[in-house]
Amino acid sequence: MLPWHKIAFHSKATRPGLPSRVQAFEQLARVSLPEDYRQFLLDINGGRPCRSTDAGSREYALIDIDWQGRPPAVSHDVAIVDYLLSVESWENVYEESKGSSLTLEGCYRVFVLEEPRIPSDFIPIGRDPGGSLFLICTGNPQPSSVWFWARDWFSWELKDQDPFHNMGFVAPRFVDFIERIKFSTID
């Protein structure tokens, strides 16, 4: 059983993704998505990770971040996995607010094409509650790995000399990322 079948994902857009949508995104981004992430999009297609089918739970999906010697002072920290992006369009899902920032294409357009803030070879795949991103690497430094991009630490001045200045390592592959999610309340 794949790890994303062991937890629930809540969203009005959570439903199997269409292969044609995944292919269209890969063409837009000019990448081949890692196979495990591609399978997740086809099976689940994003949403808010939850321990059970209880969408009203007060537990959060938490993941360890390894800052590899960068701030904060401790080498490990924890982030909330608030939402994994959907490859599907939000059209006909929410009538008033379509929230394209919760789609793979919408987030890619904003953070990569319009105002490039994340390093090349990375694709945004999820968000925390504060607008920081979870990224998947499609090239260097480690293909298929998952990283955390801290929005509050981003600096345009540091971007060119150290594109990883605000990034921490999460997992070597997407499947490992999902397996490392822990559910807990936050005090």
Domain ranges of the chain: 3-184
Q: CB count, 10 Å around CB of 32? A: 10
Q: Are 113 and 70 in contact (CB under 8 A)?
A: no
Superfamily of domain 3-184: SMI1/KNR4-like (3.40.1580.10)
Cα–Cα distance measured from residue 59 to residue 75, given in angstroms and rounded to the nearest whole number: 24
Cα–Cα distance measured from residue 89 to residue 21, given in angstroms and rounded to the nearest whole number: 9
Strand-strand pairing, 83-84 and 76-80: unpaired
Cα–Cα distance measured from residue 57 to residue 157, given in angstroms and rounded to the nearest whole number: 40
- Looking at residue 91, what is its pLDDT? 56
Cα–Cα separations (whole angstroms), residue 96 to 90, 91, 93, 99: 11, 10, 9, 9
- Looking at residue 160, what is its pLDDT? 87
- Tens digit of pLDDT per residue, the chain (187 long)? 788 888 888 876 667 888 999 999 999 999 999 999 999 999 998 888 988 655 556 789 999 999 876 655 555 689 999 999 988 765 555 444 556 667 899 899 999 999 899 998 999 999 999 899 999 999 988 999 999 999 888 888 888 888 888 999 999 999 999 999 999 886 5
Tell me, rounded to whole angstroms, the distance of Cα 116 from its chain centroid.
17
